[in-house]
Structure 1
Amino acid sequence: MNTALTKLTGVRYPLVQTGMGWVAGPRLVSAAANAGALGILASATMTTDQLRSAVREVKSRTDAPFGVNLRADAGDAGDRVRLIIDEGVKVASFALAPSKELIGELKAAGVVVIPSIGARRHAEKVAAWGADAVIVQGGEGGGHTGEVATTVLLPQVVDAVDIPVVAAGGFHDGRGVAAALCYGAAGVAMGTRFLLTSDSTVPGPVKARYLAAAVKDVTVTTAVDGLPHRMLRTELVASLERAGRVRALARAVRHAAGFRKVSGLSWSRMVRDGLAMKHGKDLSWSQVLLAANTPMLLKASMVEGRTDLGIMASGQVAGVIEDLPSCAELVDRVMAEAHAVLERLRSLDALPPPG
């Protein structure tokens, strides 16, 4: 299936496996890439040395194009941009809008730049700065999310920009791919669906919690880091929502110390990153400090398998996913479904008019 996304990135199918922290490592990314999708390596929870090693491991596992997701507000974003340029990575994706300068540096080196956005005005901004495409996540998507549904946000953005638009939030099968293409998208990005594959390194008990979840078991809360965050509803999430501000800030300080140890960042670098985050999202210092909760609480579940101590970011589609295929099986199934739906739509033109 040829779309503007496949032509831009060189992948076989208009599918993107998103860069999920602690989840989108070399094994999942290479499996997605070998299956014909665009695999995105998550780098926010890695040191630069770990990122370089992970990039090289993906390259050893696949010859297919893949990307790296970067934090645009990180103090070492420039170093990471130069790393992926040096390593010949095909695509750079961003969870937040990158600066015009970072976009220019990447494009000058031949790297495809695909920021993720959650509002029409953000898409217009990065398109004007030279982004090659955008991933548009509606409110159904997992992790940090907005309030506007994909079915409303997607056509807004498609109408607003002249670059390829990739739809995210609420997609898990071929019907969704066909629907997104009908809206004018060039492809679909999926996180939770790729997390729930046999190639994902997420521990079995955590995957079981996702598979057991109903649609109503996926909630949006601000209790983790002060921002709307979609995840599975658990006893831990309920306890975080009941906790007072003082307890929440004390917990955030502990998690900040833990994240500093895992990430290798100095306190001064974390403060600089906090300043960038505060300015970029117009957050209070309390919210910046609470943001230290996210990586450590995600690590507890996605790496250590502690469903009692960790959070499980999730799209609403977790409530309708029931199996753990390999990436190859998933991609083949999704694309077969998409082709079948599109063929049925084409057949409507051949029907005689009513009456």
Structure 2
Amino acid sequence: MRTALTDLVGARHPVVQSGMGWVAGPRLVTAVARAGALGILGSATMTTGQLRAAVREVKSRTDRPFGVNLRADAGDASERVRILVEEGVKVASLAQAPSRELIARLKDAGVVVIPSVGARRHAEKVAAWGADAVVVQGGEGGGHTGEVATTVLLPQVIDAVGIPVVAAGGFHDGRGLVAALAYGASGIAMGTRFLLTADSTVPAAVKAAYLAATVRDVTVTSKVDGLPHRMLRTPFVTGLEGAGRAASLVRAVRHAAAFRKVSGMSWPQMVREGRTMRHGRDLTWSQVLLAANTPMLLRAAMVEGRTDLGVMAAGQVAGVIEDLPSCAELVGRIMAEAEAALRGLPSATCLREIP
């Protein structure tokens, strides 16, 4: 299935695997790329050394195109861009609001730039700055999310920009792909669906928790880091929501110290990161400190398998996913379902005959 997205990035199928921290490592990205979709390394939870090693590992396993997700507001974003350029990475997926200068530097090096946005105005801005495409995530998506549903946000953005649009939030099968294409999108991006595959390194106990969830077990809370975050509702999450301000800050300090060790950052670097996060956003220092909760609580679940002490970011589709196929099986299934859905649509002649 050829679309503007497949032409842009060189993938065989218009399907993108989201760059999830602690989840989208070399094994998953390689499997997605081999399946003909576009895999994205989640680099926000990697040191720069780990990022370069991960890129080289994927390159050693497949010659198919793949990308790297960058946090545009990271203090070492410039160093990470240099790694992408030196290693010949095809695509840069950008979280947070990228600067005009960052987009220009990537494009000058021949890297395809695809920011993620959650509002029409953000899509218009990055398109004006030269972004090659945008991923548009509606409120159904996992992780940090907005309030506007994909079915409302997607056509708004498509009507506003003249670059390829990738739909995210609520997609898991071929019917969703066809629906996105009908809106005018060039493909779909999926996080939770790829997390729940046999190629994902997420521990079995965590995958089991996702598979057992219903759509009512997926909630949005701001108690993890002060920003809306969609995840599975667990007793631990319920406890976070009932914790007082003092307890939340103490926990955030503890997690900030732990994240410093994992990331290899110094305390001065952590402070600079905080200042960068606050720039241009209405964040208090308490919210910046709380942001340390996110990577460590996700790590507890996604790496250590602690469903009792970690959080599990989840799109609403977690409530309808029931199996753990390989990435090759999943992508093949999605494309077969899409073809069947297209064949099942009424023809233009039939539509004209309906009174």
TM-score by length of 1: 0.99
Contact 1:73 1:280 in 2 (8 A): no
Q: Determine the structure 1 residue equivalent to 2:340.
A: 340
Q: Is 1:151 matched up with 2:154?
A: no
Matches of 1:315 and 1:113 in 2, distance apart? Answer: 24
SS at match of 1:123: helix
Contact 1:174 1:334 in 2 (8 A): yes
Q: What is the CA distance between 1:282 and its match in structure 2?
A: 1.8
The answer as to whether partners of 1:178 and 1:342 remain within 8 angstroms in 2 is yes
For 1:30-109, what aligned pairs fall within 5 Å after superposition? 30-109=30-109
1:280 is displaced (CA, Å) by 3.6
Q: SS state of the match for residue 11, structure 1?
A: coil
Mapping 1:207-246, distance limit 5 Å = 207-246=207-246
Distance (whole Å) between structure 1 residues aligned to residue 78 and residue 212 of structure 2 = 41
Letter in structure 2 aligned against 1:343: R
Q: Evaluate the alpha carbon distance shift between residue 354 and residue 137 of structure 1 in structure 2; reply closer, same or farther with a 3 A threshold.
A: closer
Specify whether residues 354 and 168 from structure 1 end up closer, same or farther in structure 2 by C-alpha distance, changes over 3 A only: closer
Deviations 1:205-243 (CA, angstroms, capped at 9, x unpaired)? 000000000000000000000000000000110000000
Give me the whole-angstrom Cα distance separating, in 2, the residues matched to 1:106 and 1:352: 48
Identity percentage over the alignment? 77
**Alpha-carbon distance, 1:259 to partner:** 0.3
CA–CA distance in 2 between the matches of 1:328 and 1:280? 41
CA distance, structure 1, for counterparts of residue 80 and residue 299 of structure 2: 22
Structure 2 distance, partners of 1:31, 1:192, is 15
Take 2:347 and 2:329, find their aligned partners in 1: how far apart are those partners? 27
Residue type of the partner of 1:175? R
TM-score, normalised to structure 2's length? 0.99
2:299 aligned residue: 299
Distance 2:221 2:180 in 1: 27
Residue 12 of structure 2 aligns with which residue? 12
Q: Which residue of 1 aligns with 2:178?
A: 178
Q: How big is the shift at 1:95?
A: 1.1
1:157-206 deviation line (CA, Å, top 9, x unaligned): 00000000000000000000000000000000000000000000000000
- CA contact under 8 A between 1:297 and 1:309: conserved in structure 2? yes
SS of aligned partner of 1:16 = strand
Cα deviation 1:22-80 (Å, max 9, x = unaligned): 00000000000000110000001111000000000010111100000001111100000
Q: Distance in 1 between matches of 2:177 and 2:10?
A: 18
Q: What is the Cα deviation at residue 150 of structure 1?
A: 0.1
CA RMSD, Structure 1 to Structure 2 (Å): 1.0
2:320 equivalent in structure 1: 320
SS of structure 1 residue aligned to 2:113: strand
Q: What amino acid is aligned across from residue 108 of structure 1 in structure 2?
A: D
Partner of 2:353: helix, strand, or coil?
coil
Q: For residues 343 and 217 of structure 1, what CA distance do their matches in structure 2 show?
A: 34
Find the residue that maps to 1:281 and give its secondary structure: coil
Q: Which amino acid aligns with 2:114?
A: I
Q: SS of 2:219's equivalent?
A: strand
Give how far 1:262 is off: 0.2
Question: Does the aligned pair in 2 maintain the 1:206–1:301 contact within 8 Å?
Answer: yes
> What code does the residue aligned with 1:97 have?
A
Alignment partners' CA distance in 2, 1:178 and 1:321: 18
Offset at residue 349 of structure 1 (A): 3.5
What residue ranges of structure 2 are gaps of 5+ in the alignment?
A: none
Deviation for aligned residue 1:351:
6.4
CA distance in 2, matches of 1:198, 1:230: 23
The answer to whether 1:276 aligns with 2:276 is yes
Question: For residues 354 and 190 of structure 1, what CA distance do their matches in structure 2 show?
Answer: 36
Aligned residues: 355
Correspondence for 1:124? 124
What is the CA–CA distance in structure 1 between the aligned matches of 2:292 and 2:79, rounded to whole Å?
Answer: 22
SS at structure 1 position matched to 2:345: helix
CA 57–346 in structure 1, closer or farther in 2 if over 3 Å, else same: farther
Bigger mean CA deviation after superposition, 97-106 or 280-289 = 280-289
Partner of 1:264: 264
Which residues of structure 1 form unaligned runs of 5+? none
Structure-1 separation of matches of 2:160 and 2:10 = 25
Deviation at 1:345, TM superposition (A): 2.0
